[in-house]
A and B are shown apart, each in its own frame.
Chain A
């Protein structure tokens, strides 16, 4: 329950449709917008997996014309966005359907705002810099974790300055997310593990965020429970649609939570790490989570107890003292058990990375911590950590 009833709370989410074969409905949805031509933004991996054909087929069955733009690489580049926008305008498209993981979806968000504002993508860097919303955007995620289909974020590579820029705007929240767990069956176990842990971190951080609310909390805690119960199954049995469905649902819930409550220390440290070295976002999150829990626990003990509960970690011992009162849990034990559970889960899906193994030197720690502390995600962490606190956590990764 919210303790601070004086503070305003906001919840932004697209309309969404989740379920097996949800993808087939895209034509119907698009035809509802009364448009001429669809730009389908995707990448070649998704085309090979056959999902783009299915989307185009559904569009065609409604008599809708479409153009496919697939010149998108992982971590989409500024020129890719500009090329997509040029194609959008040239072909007189008026709606975008993004099919794929985070990269095509981020690129699609960029194409949308560039084509309506007629400006360079780099001009939108920062928070709330988009003046005119892009055209209607429908996202069809093919991974369970990024939640770009739900979120207000897009990360684009500036190839001239060789940096990544963050564009954060409520006007980039898609109009519709069509979430079909079938599309995740083609994910490799490694990608399943990385994206699954990413979703788990989204949920953890949103739940303990100082901007959380009841609305975000119920989504976050359910996501944690679902991931805890299904990530191992999805990793071990990729073809099992039940596990895939639960992971998709968890990713959605976690997305709804973090998009509105924001994140915390794990993401700020992971961004610093992933930006400095070529490490996968999910992997960075995975190795940081247990240490962040250990550090944050005492600043949000009640919330962490809820998480522990959701993850099946014993919080009350069901013992009674002589007066018949329930014995309060020993917080240190809960913390330790939760950290252990998180580590167990990580190892269970095969993530055992040590920074020393990656050739990263301890001398980098100070700079990494420096950048982590200026990352916007840290603003909603339960406590504002010190440089020393962050350095200590990084040190544990070696």
Chain B
């Protein structure tokens, strides 16, 4: 036991006693005695009753409030225009449903109570329906739109369905909200029909334009044929067979042009199986190749910027893709030919499943290649934006464009399951964006065709290749070697001529550029033909008009081709020249 004589502690403890009696000293002693023995006013035995009454009053107020809330809630619940049903995920039975649900599906409240969720669907595949709704309530990934439902009369109605899940007393329910869109769907259907009729009208208009264009082209060709025939006839009468033959060649060429035109026009109709010609292809390589070729024909007042971010593959017909690229880039160049500017080509891959969705293809998840070709040229008037893909629609002057370029682009994009978008502002420029589905590395739809393999093995001959542009020389050499030919490149036409003079029989074919310093293509050809008259020569011209085809043929040049040389065309051309020797 502790004890202490410490004075401080004593003081503290004494004051403690004082406090113990605090408040008691104020009362007369008798009063205090009465209180202690339980006779004071506040000395009543404890009672919980007042507290209980208070609690009961509080609870009854809370109950009133709850009832009021319940009333409000059920008013809202029952007056919504959507049907709301809470379904037990284990039984498919209804836990709760609103009046709108009864009305929408034409059931009485009583008969509704005994229904299962699958009874509201036309094809009551119990487990499938419930599972679909449950999984939808979990991730909401699949949108339940335009779902056919069935009323008690067996009548079909269409609903958009939203689901979510919730737990009540440990049981899980799905809340299903049905929005009746039957009327809306009808209206939309009508709208769709109007749209279709409009489309039909537009189609007819396009056909008109197309027919007009074809007629115009054919008239031109025909007038050539008529003219040359008459001339040829005249020379035959004069017994000048050489000149007559030259005109007959012109007639043949015109006929060839007509045939080519028909082939082009057929691009629009021959769509039975475009995929037949498609193989996995790296789009970036085709873009690079095309732009290398283009650089040589586009004046330096136009800057070309290429940005390639993806080397993903797509299923493609290389010839058509080259054609598409050429057409778009050429259009861009034409739009800037007066003022110069920037031609930008961007290629990147986007993932439609994630952030960058293109609304027009958003319903198809997956990766896409985005090819963007933009110019800073004159732009497209918004009035004609809708027509630019129509065949024979053109803003170019007579004779400058065929009106088929963008139409072909459109067809090519469609054949490749792609999508094309155009953004343009008058005076500022135009941007085409094309989306092609990416094909996974091993996802080749079928092995490359035998024909293709065969064609790459075709060439064995030696070709003399002359071009003053090192880049074009390299590219063309690579392409030709890819076809199997032995290629001897010359950057100088003089050097080439010297070599040809010393060993004229080492070459099976000469391919030469037209525009070259020192000695131009036509002069070289003339010289070479003097050395060996039967040597096949293909003369390539840019957009120089110094030499016409007619003149070239007169010199003895086998073929006269306009740049750029597209791989497959070139291949065919060479074969043609070599085989018809």
* Residues in chain A within 8 A of chain B (CB atoms): 8, 10, 12, 116, 125-129, 132-134, 136, 152, 158, 161-166, 168-173, 211, 260-262, 271-272, 275-280, 283, 353, 358-361, 364, 367, 371, 374-376, 379-380
The CA of A272 and the CA of B13, in the complex, are separated in Å by: 9
Please name 5 pairs of A and B residues whose Cβ atoms are closer than 8 Å in the assembled complex, sorted by A: A128-B40, A170-B45, A171-B44, A211-B33, A283-B1
Whether A163 contacts B51 by the Cβ 8 Å rule is: no
Whether A276 contacts B22 by the Cβ 8 Å rule is: no
Whether A374 contacts B25 by the Cβ 8 Å rule is: yes
Whether B51 contacts A379 by the Cβ 8 Å rule is: no
* A166, closest chain B residue (CB): B20
The answer, yes or no, to whether B5 is at the interface (CB within 8 Å) is yes
Given the complex, which residues of B lie within 8 Å of A360, measured CB to CB?
3, 5
Given the complex, which residues of B lie within 8 Å of A8, measured CB to CB?
39
The CA of A158 and the CA of B24, in the complex, are separated in Å by: 17
The answer, yes or no, to whether B533 is at the interface (CB within 8 Å) is no
The CA of A343 and the CA of B455, in the complex, are separated in Å by: 132
* B25, closest chain A residue (CB): A374
Given the complex, which residues of B lie within 8 Å of A358, measured CB to CB?
1, 3
Whether B16 contacts A162 by the Cβ 8 Å rule is: yes
The answer, yes or no, to whether B36 is at the interface (CB within 8 Å) is yes
> Which residue in B3, B4, B21, B42 is a CB contact (below 8 Å) of A376?
B21
> Which residue in A168, A271, A278, A280 is a CB contact (below 8 Å) of B36?
A168
Report the minimum CB–CB distance from A175 to chain B (whole Å). 8
Given the complex, which residues of A lie within 8 Å of B3, measured CB to CB?
277-279, 358-360
Given the complex, which residues of B lie within 8 Å of A168, measured CB to CB?
35-36
Q: Which of B29, B33, B45, B46 has the most CB of A within 10 A?
A: B46
Which 4 residue pairs spanning A and B have beta carbons closest together?
Answer: A128-B42, A133-B46, A358-B3, A163-B16
Whether B38 contacts A126 by the Cβ 8 Å rule is: no
Given the complex, which residues of B lie within 8 Å of A361, measured CB to CB?
5
Report the minimum CB–CB distance from A136 to chain B (whole Å). 8
Given contacts A211-B36, A358-B3, A376-B32, 19 further A-B contacts (CB under 8 A): A8-B39, A10-B43, A134-B46, A136-B48, A162-B16, A164-B19, A165-B20, A166-B20, A169-B42, A261-B37, A271-B17, A279-B3, A361-B5, A364-B10, A371-B14, A371-B18, A374-B21, A379-B32, A379-B36
The answer, yes or no, to whether B47 is at the interface (CB within 8 Å) is yes
Q: Which of A136, A171, A280 has the most CB of B within 10 A?
A: A171
The CA of A211 and the CA of B29, in the complex, are separated in Å by: 13
- Contact of A279 with B1 at beta-carbon distance under 8 Å, contacts A127-B24, A173-B46, A379-B29 already known: yes
The CA of A305 and the CA of B566, in the complex, are separated in Å by: 138
Report the minimum CB–CB distance from A35 to chain B (whole Å). 12
* Residues in chain B within 8 A of chain A (CB atoms): 1-5, 10, 12-25, 29, 32-33, 35-48, 51
* B36, closest chain A residue (CB): A262
The CA of A132 and the CA of B23, in the complex, are separated in Å by: 20
The CA of A126 and the CA of B27, in the complex, are separated in Å by: 11
Whether A126 contacts B51 by the Cβ 8 Å rule is: no
> Which residue in A10, A129, A280, A380 is a CB contact (below 8 Å) of B38?
A10
The CA of A215 and the CA of B51, in the complex, are separated in Å by: 31
Whether A125 contacts B22 by the Cβ 8 Å rule is: yes
* B51, closest chain A residue (CB): A132
Whether B35 contacts A127 by the Cβ 8 Å rule is: yes
The CA of A380 and the CA of B41, in the complex, are separated in Å by: 19
Whether A127 contacts B36 by the Cβ 8 Å rule is: yes
- Contact of A133 with B51 at beta-carbon distance under 8 Å, contacts A271-B20, A371-B14, A379-B29 already known: yes
- Contact of A379 with B33 at beta-carbon distance under 8 Å, contacts A12-B45, A173-B46, A283-B1 already known: yes
The CA of A364 and the CA of B10, in the complex, are separated in Å by: 8
Whether B33 contacts A380 by the Cβ 8 Å rule is: yes
Given the complex, which residues of A lie within 8 Å of B14, measured CB to CB?
275-276, 367, 371
Report the minimum CB–CB distance from B579 to chain A (whole Å). 98
Given the complex, which residues of A lie within 8 Å of B33, measured CB to CB?
211, 262, 376, 379-380
Whether A127 contacts B40 by the Cβ 8 Å rule is: yes
* B40, closest chain A residue (CB): A128
Whether A116 contacts B13 by the Cβ 8 Å rule is: no
Whether A277 contacts B43 by the Cβ 8 Å rule is: no
Given the complex, which residues of A lie within 8 Å of B47, measured CB to CB?
133
Given the complex, which residues of B lie within 8 Å of A364, measured CB to CB?
10
Whether A272 contacts B36 by the Cβ 8 Å rule is: no
Given the complex, which residues of A lie within 8 Å of B5, measured CB to CB?
359-361
Whether A171 contacts B19 by the Cβ 8 Å rule is: no
- Contact of A116 with B37 at beta-carbon distance under 8 Å, contacts A275-B16, A279-B3, A280-B1 already known: no
* B26, closest chain A residue (CB): A126
Report the minimum CB–CB distance from A216 to chain B (whole Å). 10
Report the minimum CB–CB distance from A212 to chain B (whole Å). 10
Given the complex, which residues of B lie within 8 Å of A132, measured CB to CB?
51
- Contact of A165 with B21 at beta-carbon distance under 8 Å, contacts A276-B10, A279-B3, A359-B4 already known: no
- Contact of A170 with B13 at beta-carbon distance under 8 Å, contacts A133-B47, A283-B1 already known: no
> Which residue in A129, A260, A278 is a CB contact (below 8 Å) of B2?
A278
Whether A275 contacts B35 by the Cβ 8 Å rule is: no
> Which residue in A10, A171, A277 is a CB contact (below 8 Å) of B39?
A10
The CA of A308 and the CA of B72, in the complex, are separated in Å by: 79
Report the minimum CB–CB distance from A332 to chain B (whole Å). 31
Given the complex, which residues of B lie within 8 Å of A367, measured CB to CB?
10, 14
Given the complex, which residues of A lie within 8 Å of B2, measured CB to CB?
278
The CA of A360 and the CA of B5, in the complex, are separated in Å by: 6
Whether B36 contacts A380 by the Cβ 8 Å rule is: yes
Whether B45 contacts A275 by the Cβ 8 Å rule is: no
- Contact of A277 with B4 at beta-carbon distance under 8 Å, contacts A162-B12, A163-B20 already known: yes
Q: Which of A158, A272, A353, A376 has the most CB of B within 10 A?
A: A376
Whether A275 contacts B38 by the Cβ 8 Å rule is: no
Given the complex, which residues of B lie within 8 Å of A164, measured CB to CB?
16, 19-20
The CA of A363 and the CA of B15, in the complex, are separated in Å by: 17
Report the minimum CB–CB distance from B316 to chain A (whole Å). 71
The CA of A380 and the CA of B32, in the complex, are separated in Å by: 10
* A131, closest chain B residue (CB): B42
The CA of A100 and the CA of B419, in the complex, are separated in Å by: 85
Whether A278 contacts B17 by the Cβ 8 Å rule is: no
Report the minimum CB–CB distance from B357 to chain A (whole Å). 51
The CA of A261 and the CA of B38, in the complex, are separated in Å by: 9
Whether A133 contacts B17 by the Cβ 8 Å rule is: no
Report the minimum CB–CB distance from A285 to chain B (whole Å). 14
> Which residue in A128, A134, A277 is a CB contact (below 8 Å) of B13?
A277
Given the complex, which residues of A lie within 8 Å of B36, measured CB to CB?
127, 168, 211, 262, 376, 379-380
> Which residue in A171, A211, A280, A375 is a CB contact (below 8 Å) of B17?
A375
Given the complex, which residues of B lie within 8 Å of A12, measured CB to CB?
38, 45
* A278, closest chain B residue (CB): B2
Given the complex, which residues of A lie within 8 Å of B21, measured CB to CB?
371, 374-376
Whether A278 contacts B16 by the Cβ 8 Å rule is: no
The CA of A271 and the CA of B14, in the complex, are separated in Å by: 10
